[in-house]
Amino acid sequence: MLELTWRVGADTPEETNPFEGRSSEESESRESRRRLCSHFSIQNARIDIPGLHRDMQVPVYRCSLAEVMVARMRATPDGIRLADSLAAAPLEGIPRLIGGPDLEAITTTTCTPDRCRRSCHAGFTQILSDIGIDSALPQE
C-alpha cells in the first residue's frame, strides 16, 4: 500500500502554475492553505468498514508540535498517563491526537500561524514545564 503525506503550504506546484478560469472556491482554498500553521499536515489512512466492499480513505490531521509534546511526556510516569489521555488510537500506524498543544482541535480551519504563536507555543511550554519536562520549543 502506498502511503501519502500532504504538506499544505504555499510552495505547492499548483501555486506557481496559474491558470485562467479558476473558480473563486479554488482561489479561496488556495488562499486558506497559505494561512495554515507550519506544524500542520494531513496524512491519508484506510479503514475497513464491515459490509463495504472497499476500504474507506480518511484524512488524519496532524500537528508535529503536539506530537513532539506527547513524545516528551512519555519520558516520565506522570507524563505517560497524560500523553495517553491526549492520544487517540492510531490509524495504520499514523498517530492521532485529540488536540494541539493548546488542547484545541487540529483542523484545516483552526491551525493558523497566529494560533500557533499565540496559543500552541504557550500551551506546549506550560504543559511540559508543569510536569517538569524540557519545555524548549523544537527547531522549525
| Boundaries of every domain in the chain | 5-130
Q: State the Cα–Cα distance between residues 91 and 60, nearest whole angstrom.
A: 8
Quickly state the pLDDT bin for 85 (edges 50, 70, 90): very high
Torsion angle defined by CA atoms of residues 15, 40, 136 and 133, in that order, rounded to the nearest 10 degrees? -170
**d(C-alpha 76, C-alpha 82), whole Å:** 10
Q: What is the phi-psi region of residue 11: left when phi exceeds 0, alpha when psi lies from -120 to 50, beta otherwise? A: alpha
State the pLDDT at residue 44.
95
Beta 56-63 vs 5-6: how paired, if at all?
unpaired
pLDDT more than 70, % of the chain: 76
Is the whole-model pTM more than 0.75? no
